[in-house]
Amino acid sequence: MTSPARVERLALCQLFDEVGPDAPTLLGGWTTRDLAAHLVVRERRPDAAPGILVPAFGRYTERVREREARRPWPELVGLVRDGPPVWNPMRLPPVDTAANSVEMFVHHEDVRRARDGWNARSLAPDLEAALTQAMHRMGAMLTRSARVGLVLTPNGGAPIRLRQATPNVSIRGPIGECVLYVYGRKDVAQVTLDGPAEARAAVSRARFGI
C-alpha cells in the first residue's frame, strides 16, 4: 500500500515537472527550485537538516541548500521523487506517513496555490487521517504564539484542542485547510474563525507555523 505521504510526494514532483524550476511558491521569495532543494536537505543532509528548525544552525543549512539548488533541475526533482535514502528511517512507510504526510501536503499546496485558478482539493481518507494525527501531535507547537484558547474543528471530525485558555477560538473547515492555517498559510486557507471578535483578531495576527 502506498503511503499518503508518498502519494503527495509524487503529485508534488509531477507539478515540479510541469511548472519548472522558476515557478513561484507561497514561501516568500522561494521558487520551486528553492523548495525542492529544501526537501533534499531535509531528507539527505543530516549535517544540515537541524538548521531547518534551529536558528543557530540556519546559516549553514542555507549554504547547503543553495548548493543543492544548483543541481540540474531534473536531478533535483529526481532526488525529491526518490524520497529518503535507505539509511533514513523515513524510508519506512509508517515513519514516512507520520513524518512526511504534512510536509508533502503543505509544500504541494505551496506550489498549487501560488498559481492562478487553484481550487481546494478533496483529500483521500488516508491523507485526512494522517493530517488529523499530525495536528494532535504538532498543533500546539505550531500555534504556540497564540494567547487565546484554540480548537481545530475539522468538517466531519472530532474537535482537536490545541491550546487551553479563555477566550476560545474555533478554527473550522476541512482538515487540509485547517492544517494550512496552522502552518501559517492563512491567506489561502479556507477556514472560518468562531469566537469573540478580539480573540479572532488575535488569532489572525498571530504567527503560526514552524
The tens digit of pLDDT for each residue in 73-109 reads: 999 999 999 999 999 998 998 999 998 999 999 999 9
Beta strands in 74-167 (DSSP E): 149-154, 160-163
Whether this prediction's pTM lies above 0.85 is answered by yes
What number of other Cβ atoms are within 10 A of residue 17's Cβ?
A: 12
Distances (CA, A) of 65 to 23, 85, 170: 17, 17, 37
Please name the fold of domain 125-205.
Nonspecific Lipid-transfer Protein; Chain A (3.30.1050)
Distance CA 166, CA 185 (A): 25
Domain with CATH 3.30.1050 in the chain: 125-205
pLDDT at residue 53 tops 80: no
- What pLDDT score was predicted for residue 1? 63
